[in-house]
Chain A
Amino acid sequence: MSRAFAPSPWQRFRRHRAARGALLVLAALTLFALLAPPLLPLDPHSPDWERISVPPEPAHPFGTDAIGRDLLARTALGLRTTLLVAGSAALLALLVGLPWGLLAGWVGGPVGGLMMRIVDVLQALPFLFLAILLMAVFGRRTELLFAAIGGYVWLDLARIVRAETLSLREREFVLAARALGASTGRILVRHLLPQLAGGALVALGVIVPKVILIESFLSYLGLGIQEPMVSLGGLVHEGAQDMSFAPWALAFPAGFLVALLLALHFLAEGLRDALDPRSPA
């Protein structure tokens, strides 16, 4: 097939209906997280002692929790924290995993092999257990949580980037660039990096939901983000304790968390179909 007739990745992505819907849901969730607290006259922190654990009503559309805090505001706050953690950990994974995989693939030989052995060993560790230990021991510091999660999820990315680099570096365009006198740094940054972007994006589509799961898992155990900050996992934890008399305190945060995870799942599927047409749908 001639190149002109092959649809571009963007066209393929737009044809993916579920992914398009997921993108809309994600945009709506982000807007909600960013705009709900400043636009609505609701406060996630101050308790209203008159309205403790009330079911959804006009003044509190999601109801209130066991000490009378508005759950819509708290859900928005939790969602914002969750998105922030996911974004920063994904960024950290990108900053470490991309160069690591690129170098390991480019250098190859014993050095590249050693770099990948390090990844193998780290990946064999039961990470969630170490994370529980880390958070229980060092008292739930948010930056530590970012570092721990980011320090784990870059492994997947490094592995994928290395595999692609290994095949890319043998291609003619690299030889051509070298023949034209391009430096190694220029080949890596200007010629290889753009080719790797697709694979890295697909990998991120898998990494981000993983980060969200880990963070909410730790917050649910009471080991993640700490008051007055709160994440969706922490809200699910609070809601689960009061669910016998206030099921809405569980339902809204849990619903938002599941909606977020589902949207990310379909987005990742769309990205994979668009950027990696060889993989089975």
Chain B
Amino acid sequence: MIGFLLRRLAAGALTLLALLTLSFFLIRAAPGGPFDAERPLEPELRARLEAQYRLDQPLWRQYLAFLADLARGELGPSLQYREYRVAELIREGWPVSLRLGSAALLLAVAAGLGLGVLAAWRRDRLLDRLLMALATLLQALPVFVSAPLLVLLFALTLGWLPAGGYGGGALRHLVLPVTALALPHLAIVARLTRTAMVETLAAEFVRAARARGLSETRILLVHALRPALVPVVAYLGPAAAAVLTGSVVVEQTFGLPGVGRYFVQGALNRDYTLVMGVVLLVGALVILLSLLADLLAAWLDPRIRLR
């Protein structure tokens, strides 16, 4: 167990380093620099700025300096919003993205599990067929299609909810973005739950529980659900990663001030330090969450060996 954790953490750190290195050189290999977007700067001022941000040094020097800063937990100042440090910008945007993402994941898992259990319980009946057809449709509906459609329906046509903006995190501002982000994952969780439940409902231990005269509800929710959770939990790692990237689209569509927006704008503005900050955050999260999902799956199903 400890060995597994250490190995996975070491592999994760290596992956993160590879990701950061790749991003570092990729964004610096791009034509243009952070000080090109505005009106032309006076050469002296430009040289001073570049010296201040170490952009006049050779690439390998910049890279080593970046690694040294990173080791001290220092991400440096943003090159675009020069009065802010990258850490400050991320600290500002992160709660928005976190709130959006965790609410979407929670909704996807809760509703997906519920609908999946329902479909497995009414297996091959009309309700099951309808739910699974709906799941197929939702799975084929990308976030960037469902988000505008939701706005069109609930904000522009019915006028029930605001079309965009964060509104200080008010619930009515979050309903549409969270739903858009959750829908495809909700569909997949429902399908996974149904398949696994149908399988476990046919297993010996469920028949034994039936023979002991336990109620159908108890069999469904206690005996059959726990092993059926394993594939759902295994899906959570990749799902969390997808929610993180999906929130780039959702933040853009609804105009939310999260870190996803910083990423696209940062890359377009050649804000080297800001982009590296977001890459670090997202990369670390994706790696940690997939580790967490593996641990959770092993805890749910003791037959799984951690290697």
Whether chain B is bound by chain A comes out as yes
Are A139 and B31 in touch, CB under 8 angstroms?
Answer: yes
Instruction: Report how far A137 CA is from B31 CA in the complex, Å.
Output: 7
- Chain A residues, Cβ within 8 Å of B275: 133
Chain B residue with Cβ nearest A255: B145
Are A257 and B26 in touch, CB under 8 angstroms?
Answer: no
Are A130 and B264 in touch, CB under 8 angstroms?
Answer: no
Q: Which of these, B15, B140, B279, contacts A262 with CB under 8 Å?
A: B140
Chain A residue with Cβ nearest B290: A124
Are A216 and B142 in touch, CB under 8 angstroms?
Answer: yes
CB distance from A244 to the nearest CB of B (A): 5
CB distance from A224 to the nearest CB of B (A): 11
- Chain A residues, Cβ within 8 Å of B62: none
Are A129 and B151 in touch, CB under 8 angstroms?
Answer: no
Indicate if A132 sits at the interface (CB-CB under 8 A).
Answer: yes
- Chain A residues, Cβ within 8 Å of B149: 250, 254
Q: Which of these, A133, A216, A240, A262, contacts B137 with CB under 8 Å?
A: A262
CB distance from B284 to the nearest CB of A (A): 10
Are A243 and B15 in touch, CB under 8 angstroms?
Answer: no
Are A138 and B30 in touch, CB under 8 angstroms?
Answer: yes
Q: Looking at the complex, which of B17-25, B65-73, B79-87 is the stretch in contact with chain A?
A: B17-25
Instruction: Report how far A280 CA is from B199 CA in the complex, Å.
Output: 11
Are B283 and A236 in touch, CB under 8 angstroms?
Answer: no
- Chain B residues, Cβ within 8 Å of A237: 144
Are B26 and A133 in touch, CB under 8 angstroms?
Answer: yes
Given contacts A240-B253, A258-B145, contact A265 B139 (CB under 8 A): yes
Indicate if B111 sits at the interface (CB-CB under 8 A).
Answer: no
Given contacts A126-B283, A240-B148, contact A121 B15 (CB under 8 A): yes
Are B282 and A126 in touch, CB under 8 angstroms?
Answer: yes
Within 8 A of A (CB), among B126-145: 136-137, 139-142, 144-145
Q: Looking at the complex, which of B35-43, B51-59, B202-210, B244-252 is the stretch in contact with chain A?
A: B244-252
Binary CB contact string for chain A from 228 to 270 against chain B (1 if under 8 A, 0 otherwise): 0000010011011001100100100010011001100100000
Are B148 and A243 in touch, CB under 8 angstroms?
Answer: yes
Are A128 and B245 in touch, CB under 8 angstroms?
Answer: yes
Instruction: Report how far A80 CA is from B156 CA in the complex, Å.
Output: 31
Q: Which of these, B29, B136, B137, B144, contacts A137 with CB under 8 Å?
A: B29
A-B contact count, CB below 8 Å?
Answer: 105
Chain B residue with Cβ nearest A239: B148
Are B142 and A132 in touch, CB under 8 angstroms?
Answer: no
Binary CB contact string for chain A from 143 to 187 against chain B (1 if under 8 A, 0 otherwise): 000000000000000000000000000000000000000000000
Indicate if B230 sits at the interface (CB-CB under 8 A).
Answer: no
Instruction: Report how far A53 CA is from B18 CA in the complex, Å.
Output: 48
Size band of the B side of the interface? 35 or more
Instruction: Report how far A72 CA is from B177 CA in the complex, Å.
Output: 30
Indicate if A188 sits at the interface (CB-CB under 8 A).
Answer: no
CB distance from A152 to the nearest CB of B (A): 13
Size band of the A side of the interface? 35 or more
Q: Which of these, A121, A223, A247, A262, contacts B152 with CB under 8 Å?
A: A247
CB distance from A214 to the nearest CB of B (A): 10
Q: Which of these, B26, B253, B268, B286, contacts A126 with CB under 8 Å?
A: B286
Instruction: Report how far A213 CA is from B144 CA in the complex, Å.
Output: 10
CB distance from B35 to the nearest CB of A (A): 16
Indicate if A1 sits at the interface (CB-CB under 8 A).
Answer: no
Chain B residue with Cβ nearest A129: B282
Q: Which of these, B27, B31, B144, B195, contacts A216 with CB under 8 Å?
A: B144
Instruction: Report how far A128 CA is from B243 CA in the complex, Å.
Output: 12
Indicate if B96 sits at the interface (CB-CB under 8 A).
Answer: no
Are B156 and A243 in touch, CB under 8 angstroms?
Answer: yes
Are A121 and B26 in touch, CB under 8 angstroms?
Answer: no
Instruction: Report how far A233 CA is from B287 CA in the complex, Å.
Output: 29
Are B249 and A280 in touch, CB under 8 angstroms?
Answer: no
Chain B residue with Cβ nearest A259: B140
CB distance from A22 to the nearest CB of B (A): 11
Binary CB contact string for chain B from 3 to 35 against chain A (1 if under 8 A, 0 otherwise): 000000000101100110011001101110000
Indicate if B263 sits at the interface (CB-CB under 8 A).
Answer: yes
Given contacts A130-B22, A250-B152, contact A137 B245 (CB under 8 A): no
Given contacts A132-B267, A133-B275, A233-B144, contact A125 B156 (CB under 8 A): no
Instruction: Report how far A253 CA is from B31 CA in the complex, Å.
Output: 33
Are A217 and B142 in touch, CB under 8 angstroms?
Answer: yes
Q: With contacts A134-B26, A265-B139 known, what are 15 further pairs, Cβ within 8 A? A: A126-B282, A130-B22, A132-B264, A133-B27, A133-B279, A137-B270, A221-B264, A223-B264, A233-B144, A236-B144, A239-B148, A243-B156, A250-B148, A250-B152, A258-B145
Please give me the 9 A-B residue pairs with the lowest Cβ-Cβ distance, nearest first.
A136-B267, A137-B30, A240-B148, A261-B140, A220-B144, A128-B245, A124-B15, A262-B140, A254-B145
A–B complex contacts, Cβ < 8 Å, 22 sampled: A121-B14, A126-B282, A129-B263, A129-B279, A130-B23, A132-B248, A133-B267, A136-B264, A136-B268, A216-B144, A217-B249, A220-B249, A221-B249, A221-B252, A233-B144, A236-B145, A240-B151, A243-B151, A243-B156, A265-B136, A265-B139, A265-B140
Q: Using CB atoms and an 8 Å cutoff, list the residues of chain B in contact with chain A.
A: 12, 14-15, 18-19, 22-23, 26-27, 29-31, 136-137, 139-142, 144-145, 147-149, 151-152, 156, 195, 241, 244-245, 248-249, 252-253, 263-264, 267-268, 270, 275, 279, 282-283, 286-287
